[in-house]
Amino acid sequence: MDYETLSDCFIGVFENYRTENRKVFVVGKLRNDFREFIEFLYQNIQNKEWHVAFNGLDFDSQITEHCLKKKDELINLSGEEIAKRIYSTAQSVIDRSSVKSRALYPHWELSVKQLDVFKLNHWDNPAKSSSLKWIQYSMDWNNVQEMPISHTESIDTEEKLQTVIDYCINDVISTKQIMMLSKDQINLRAQLTSEYKINLYNASEPRISKELFAKFLSEKLNVDPKTIRNGRTHRDIIKVSEIILPYVQFTSPEFKELLEKFKTVKINPRDTKGAFKYSVIYRDVKTDFGLGGVHGANNSGVYRKGDGMIIMSSDVTSFYPNLAIRNQWAPGHIDTQKFCELYEWFFEERKKIPKKDPKNYVYKIILNSTYGLSNDANSFLYDPEFTMRITINGQLSLMMLYEMICTEIPNSVPIMQNTDGLETMIPEEYYDKYMEICERWQNITQLQLEHEQYQKIVFADVNNYIALYEYKPVNRDTFTYLQKNNPEFLYKITKDGFFYAATKCKGRFEFTNLALHKNKSKLVIPKALYQYFIKDVLPEDYLKENKNILDYCAGVKIKGNWSFYVKYFIDGEMKEELVQSTIRYYLSTNGVKLIKKNDDDRREIQAESGRSLVTMFNVIKDKTWEEYQVDTQYYLRAIEKEIANINQLKTQLSLF
């Protein structure tokens, strides 16, 4: 469902989630369906029907509740007057939300139950902030146009009214699609709500973690949940020298100095930004350290198995949770033994549960979110010292393994060090030595490593790469399934059976199963890079084959006090036109310039640099490939530039 609240017109559209049965209510100058609208809402209540909406909890449900509460005042007014009253309430709701004030009608008092796909997907989080228009773009929705009529414009013609109705219907059916894509997440929340008697239908993953951990912890400590939720440990100063684990030690001057640098740090938990930054150059590789994590990377290039060299990848199993469990750490206001017993219980229970079981996923959320909650002043797990114990000792422990491998294995080539694991190229003859080093490290730290081998890593930097795993045997049924559903995998059939090799694409090389809040612009570029580096397909050949116009599309959205404009020539004269704040477009040989203009000082920034032209594509139009006039040379240049950047060390790496 969705509402449109204009200054003199209210529109509500509802569609059954299982069928295409649709209800449209209009309240305004041209039509007054308010009585029928109220009857429909009471029918929803009587039938225990839910409203599924995008941002429904903070907006649409508030309008619903207002209409129900004020129905006796409103029902005898004219349609226009009712619409004006609803509009005034809508503006008040928006204003309250913008200053993070309490909702006009508390969520737990709402007459109609709500399922908010915006909330449960955590798109209200600044890091994932997404409008319905942006999610429509991410879903390759046919129509991502914004409201073509201002909310202050009078709806005084049937044509205007139908425009708004069509717009609202488009939002409703796209919300329905989001619900279908979120079906597993919705079912999980329904199961958790039923099992634990906590309303988690609209809960984000961090909130699920917070609610369930609080429940389990209150039972473990035999303390009322409200008492648990009020717990916090505040710190004035954290002396890093007092929290470093006693087993942390190094042999190389570079890491000895790093350790001493950490020991001098005193952290003010209220102001950690830039509190510690330090870099180590070890074996010609720069590794950066901070309070939050470690990142190190060798030069870009293609690192291949061969000529006696193999590529090892070793990650620490549930690194952050196990650092706390093995070292008996807990937030200062919580009993350490019971906290760690509960934390370990989640870890051990998850191992017993099949990955297909939703509870496995829930326990994963709890394990991974607890660390983050310890650094959230609004969380009952808040204790910044607990956070720093984990992140600082995690970095130093991992660097111990890094140093041991590089020191004890001749000709080892470090490729990447990143938060919870390492990628290293080593002589194949030292495989057993590598595993023995890892075993020693595990005994020292009481942590567990998981190992993989790669055939190659196509490496731009620590956040952007393609890793091709070694081939693994599978049975015939699995092979058939993977072959049908996973075109990114490589396959082979030998006399020994069926084999496949998976790939891991990170950062700008990702192109499958992208989260809807992420920017999937110009997917044709990472797809072509994958084809080139993994399947030896030339970029120009791949572009000739890929005729999916949506792979060539990009998306942009406005933040702050900026607006989008297009510029184009008509009869030799430059024209400028204001356009909407979320745009889908592709690069074309004949089109317009897309610019972002500051509303205050009128500064201009081009969406695409140089002479590039774009075609706006907010509404998908089916054409022949030639009619789209795609600027394939633009995409080819972008692909070739990435290839050139990665291959710049080809000569140096050829010795491997």
Q: What is the DSSP code string of 76-114?
A: TS-HHHHHHHHHHHHHHHHHHHHTTPPPSS-GGG-SS-E
Instruction: Give the span between the Cα atoms of 98 and 304, in whole angstroms.
Output: 52
* Other CB atoms within 10 Å distance of the CB of residue 599: 11
Give residue 482's pLDDT. 80
The mean per-residue pLDDT over the stretch 618-635 comes to 97
Q: Give 318-336 pLDDT, tens digit per residue.
A: 999 999 999 999 999 999 9
Taking a C-beta distance cutoff of 8 angstroms, is the pair 623, 272 a contact?
no
Q: Give 90-105 pLDDT, tens digit per residue.
A: 999 999 988 888 889 9
For residue 613, give the H/E element and its range.
strand 613-616
**Of residues 356 and 247, which shows the higher confidence score?**
247
Give residue 479's pLDDT. 84
pLDDT over 50 (residue 653)? no
Instruction: Give the span between the Cα atoms of 88 and 102, in whole angstroms.
Output: 18
Instruction: Give the span between the Cα atoms of 383 and 245, in whole angstroms.
Output: 18
| Spatial CA neighbour of 177 closest among 296, 34, 318, 2 | 2
Model's pTM, two decimal places? Answer: 0.92
pLDDT band (50, 70, 90) for residue 613: very high
Burial 144-155 (b: 16+ CB within 10 A, else e): beebebeeeeeb
CA-derived radius of gyration, the chain: 29
CATH architecture of 2-191: 2-Layer Sandwich (3.30)
Helices (H) and strands (E) in the chain, counts: 22, 27
Handedness of CA 64, 69, 75, 77 (dihedral sign): negative
Give residue 99's pLDDT. 84
Q: What is the DSSP string of 551-611?
A: GGEEEEE--SSEEEEEEEEETTEEEEEEE-SEEEEEEESS-BEEEEEETTT--EEESS-TT
Q: Give 407-460 pLDDT, tens digit per residue.
A: 999 999 999 999 899 999 999 999 999 999 999 999 999 999 999 999 999 999
Taking a C-beta distance cutoff of 8 angstroms, is the pair 181, 516 a contact?
yes
Mark out the alpha helices in 11-78 (DSSP H runs): 34-46, 61-69, 71-74
Residue 427's SS3 state is strand
Burial 473-492 (b: 16+ CB within 10 A, else e): ebeeeebeebeeeeebbbee
Taking a C-beta distance cutoff of 8 angstroms, is the pair 475, 321 a contact?
no
| Spatial CA neighbour of 469 closest among 449, 452, 486 | 452
Q: What angle do CA 483, 485, 488 make, to 5 degrees?
A: 70
Give residue 273's pLDDT. 82
Taking a C-beta distance cutoff of 8 angstroms, is the pair 143, 618 a contact?
yes
pLDDT band (50, 70, 90) for residue 487: low
- The two beta strands, 114-116 and 51-53, are parallel
Give residue 654's pLDDT. 38
In sequence order, what are the residues at sequence separation of 6 or more whose Cβ sits closer than 8 angstroms to the Cβ of residue 493? 479, 499
- Domain ranges (residues) in the chain: 2-191, 538-647
For the ranges 126-135, 266-275, 639-648, the lowest mean pLDDT is seen at 266-275
pLDDT over 50 (residue 627)? yes
The mean per-residue pLDDT over the stretch 344-352 comes to 93
Q: Give 375-394 pLDDT, tens digit per residue.
A: 999 999 999 999 999 999 99
Q: Give 562-586 pLDDT, tens digit per residue.
A: 999 999 998 889 999 999 999 999 9
Tokens of 357: 């079981």
pLDDT over 50 (residue 651)? no
3-state secondary structure 279-308: EEEECCEEEEECCCCEEEECCCEEEECECC
Taking a C-beta distance cutoff of 8 angstroms, is the pair 587, 635 a contact?
yes
Give residue 13's pLDDT. 98
Give residue 293's pLDDT. 87
pLDDT over 60 (residue 492)? yes
How much of the chain, in percent, has pLDDT values that exceed 90?
86
pLDDT over 70 (residue 114)? yes
Q: Give 138-154 pLDDT, tens digit per residue.
A: 999 999 999 999 999 99
Give residue 477's pLDDT. 87
The mean per-residue pLDDT over the stretch 624-632 comes to 97
The mean per-residue pLDDT over the stretch 314-319 comes to 96
Q: Give 359-379 pLDDT, tens digit per residue.
A: 898 999 999 888 889 999 999
Q: What mean pLDDT, rounded, does the chain reach? A: 94
Instruction: Give the span between the Cα atoms of 347 and 343, in whole angstroms.
Output: 7
